[in-house]
């Protein structure tokens, strides 16, 4: 009985309340490929759906939503922040309430940020209405135009490759995930790692993916190389599109001021 009392006393009601509120405000239709049957009555994510999107059991996710003290990993908290589309400030708040500290900083290379300016952003915006973004050598998102947040909600999570391999939602959004997306993605990473063997962010990216994604090691062992997806046509599921598969032509460019940057434009429905 004493153990139950201590567990109940350790609950953080504020943490429980804010996580529940974030889940209930999230529209399930914004999750690409999320299976929704005719029996759904509430326009909110269920606990089981959030657990699936974050790669944990309903029981483990329930600990957080109940405000219980537990060893929540950074990986789980980042996946939750993405699944619930938390703002940067909300993500920081989640970390502080769940772990007592701020999230570890991780972002673009300094030279990538230095290459960005108002003109580069203006160029991104000129591509409207097609979604476009710029990523650095390690696939950190440096900048994007507004449609990217709707079509590519993973800009909420600032690294494209970590999202693709470590976030369960990616497998729903990227059609034929393993062969059409994961395989060429890893071949691109291998090519970049061979070109820049001393880059710490690339080393960390490879380590995180191979440790966190069981299928990645198998694909990595194929030893394939691929420089860029310029002109590739692949299929995606998009937010508010249900299970519909949309063909996407990927166009890749590099600004002369910094050729390590990738300027990606996606044309849908081609």
d(CA 29, CA 94): 24
Rounded CA separation 187/220 (Å)? 8
Tokens 């693709």 label which residue?
164
Coil, strand or helix: which one is 187? helix
Which residues of the chain carry a pLDDT beneath 50? 1-2, 4-9
Q: Which positions ≥6 away from 153 have C-beta within 8 Å?
A: 30, 32, 82, 85, 239
Rounded Cα distance, 238 and 152, in Å: 8
pLDDT at residue number 9: 46
| Cα 189 from Cα 193, distance rounded (Å) | 6
pLDDT value, residue 181: 96
Secondary structure (DSSP) of 157-168: SSBHHHHHHH-T
What is the structure's pLDDT at 21?
96
Measured over all CA atoms, what is the biggest interatomic distance in the chain, rounded to whole angstroms?
Answer: 68
Q: Three-class SS of residue 26?
A: coil
Closest CA to 269 of 229, 230, 233: 233
> What's the pLDDT score for residue 244?
87
Name the residue with tokens 């490759």.
Answer: 161
């Amino acid at each position: 009985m004493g153990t139950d009392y201590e567990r109940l006393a350790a609950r953080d009601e504020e943490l429980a309340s804010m996580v529940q509120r974030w889940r209930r405000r999230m529209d399930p239709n914004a999750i690409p490929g999320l299976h929704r049957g005719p029996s759904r009555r509430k326009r909110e994510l269920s606990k089981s759906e959030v657990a699936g999107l974050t790669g944990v059991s309903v029981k483990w996710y329930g600990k957080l939503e109940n405000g219980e003290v537990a060893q929540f990993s950074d990986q789980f908290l980042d996946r939750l922040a993405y699944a619930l589309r938390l703002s940067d400030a909300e993500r920081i708040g989640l970390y502080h309430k769940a772990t007592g500290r701020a999230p570890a900083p991780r972002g673009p290379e300094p030279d990538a940020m230095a290459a960005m300016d108002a003109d580069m952003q203006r160029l991104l915006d000129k591509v409207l209405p097609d979604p476009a973004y710029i990523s650095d050598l390690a696939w950190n998102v440096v900048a994007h135009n507004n449609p990217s947040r709707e079509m590519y909600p993973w800009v909420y999570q600032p690294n494209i490759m970590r999202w693709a391999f470590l976030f369960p939602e990616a497998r729903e959004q990227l059609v034929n995930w393993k062969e059409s997306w994961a395989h060429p993605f890893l071949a691109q990473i291998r090519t970049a790692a061979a070109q820049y063997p001393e880059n710490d962010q690339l080393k960390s990216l490879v380590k995180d993916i191979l440790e966190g994604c069981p299928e990645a090691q198998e694909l990595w062992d194929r030893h394939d190389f691929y420089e860029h997806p310029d002109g590739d046509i692949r299929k995606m599921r998009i937010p508010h599109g249900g299970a519909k598969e949309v063909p996407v032509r990927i166009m890749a460019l590099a600004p002369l001021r910094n050729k390590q940057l990738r300027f990606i434009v996606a044309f849908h429905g081609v």
